[in-house]
Structure 1
Amino acid sequence: MTTPATPMDTVTLERRIAARPETVFGFLTDRDKWLSWMGGDGTFSFEPGGPYRTRITGENVASGSFLTVDPPERLVLTWGWEGAGTPLAPGSTRLEITLEPALEPALEPTPAGTVLHLLHTGLPTSEACEAHAEFWQHYVDRLSLRAEGGDPGPDPWTRRPTG
């Protein structure tokens, strides 16, 4: 059986995190926890239809709205960048994050952590896909470290352009 190829407008990422889904979900739906792994400041309304706006790096601001908030399993939001000339207008793409318990094979059904699945769709170009694949890898690394109880320290990308 052949696995279907990822569409050209899509970024996918899967990560195992040594923390329970409830813990990881908290870092996705609490302003201060969110900003501990991504962004310098922001406003969030973590409910379906609720808007968000967060300064990610330097002058780069991401904004959109939450579509689904289903604790502790699923978060869906629109995503885009503010500013003239960006190929991703605010809310023009879709980001879906699902969390599932990772089971330790010898100890099933005892949860051993979380498997995070990230799906970012609607990206307009292959360059946007490449840039967002790198972007999400960087920030999921930081999220994983925070959820596992670590401190990723200051974000080295705070002055790096994105988009």
Structure 2
Amino acid sequence: MTITPQGAVVVRRRIKARPETVFSFFTDHDRWLSWQGVEGSFDPRPGGAYRMRVVGDAIASGEFAELTPHRRIVFSWGWENEGDPVPPGSSRVQIDLVPEAEGTLLTLTHSDLPEPARAAHQDGWEHYLGRLTVRAEGGDPGPDLWMQEAEEAEEDD
């Protein structure tokens, strides 16, 4: 994981699954929600929108810009929650999938993030790409601990 001098968050994962399999976890509704989010809608085509409740009441939304089968996915990213420093459409996520002998090298680059939001997004992508890796390799990452913590915090309020 890296934050570049330009402020982009870069996270890499080696996944023991073919690029076609990994790609499907960004284009299939149920597969996406198996590693990130609890509910959402996805229209994975250029210009298509997505909206998902990631954790607690945090809603991420944006629009797909590019889908090159089994190679690249690009979409805008932001949070609908009032006062969030990353509003919908204000940042860009690019996911590159490179075939390797044992699977896929996934490189996620999240750019156009304001400085105060970079570390949190880096932590978030580390968390969720870890869950994606387990799912794409055929495993079960189990319940999202971040969701459980958010639900418990809501109960305490």
TM-score higher than 0.5:
yes
Unaligned runs of 5+ in 1: 104-111
SS in 1 for 2:44: coil
* Aligned equivalent of 1:74: 72
Measure, in 1, the Cα distance between the counterparts of 2:150 and 2:6: 25
- TM-score normalised per structure 2: 0.91
State how far apart, in whole Å, the 2-side matches of 1:139 and 1:51 are: 20
Alpha carbons 1:8, 1:129 under 8 Å: kept: no
C-alpha distance in 1 between matches for 2:32 and 2:5:
28
4+ residue runs over 2 A deviation = none
Amino acid at match of 1:61: I
Does the alignment pair 1:124 with 2:114? yes
Rounded to whole Å, the distance in 2 between the matches of 1:65 and 1:77 is 5
Indicate the percent of aligned positions where both proteins have the same amino acid.
Answer: 52
Match of 1:114 in 2: 104
Q: What is the CA–CA distance in structure 2 between the aligned matches of 1:7 and 1:43, rounded to whole Å?
A: 34
Deviation (angstroms), 1:6: 1.3
Say which of 135, 138, 152 aligns to 2:124: 135
**What does residue 91 of structure 2 align with?**
93
Q: Which amino acid aligns with 1:88?
A: V
Contact 1:73/1:99, CA 8 A, preserved across alignment = yes
Gaps of 5+ in 2: 152-157
Alignment of 1:144 onto 2:129: no
Distance 1:67 1:34 in 2: 17
Work out which of the two has the higher radius of gyration on C-alpha atoms and give 1 or 2.
1
Higher helix share: 2
Residue 81 of structure 2 is matched in structure 1 by 83
**Which residue does 1:25 correspond to in 2?**
23
Aligned with 1:16 (options 14, 17, 22): 14
Equivalent residue letter for 2:106: L
Shift of 1:68: 0.2
Whole-Å separation in 2 of the counterparts to 1:62 and 1:73:
23
Distance in 2 between residues matched to 1:15 and 1:33, nearest whole Å:
18
Deviation string for 1:73-103 (max 9, x for gaps)? Answer: 0000000000210100111100000101012
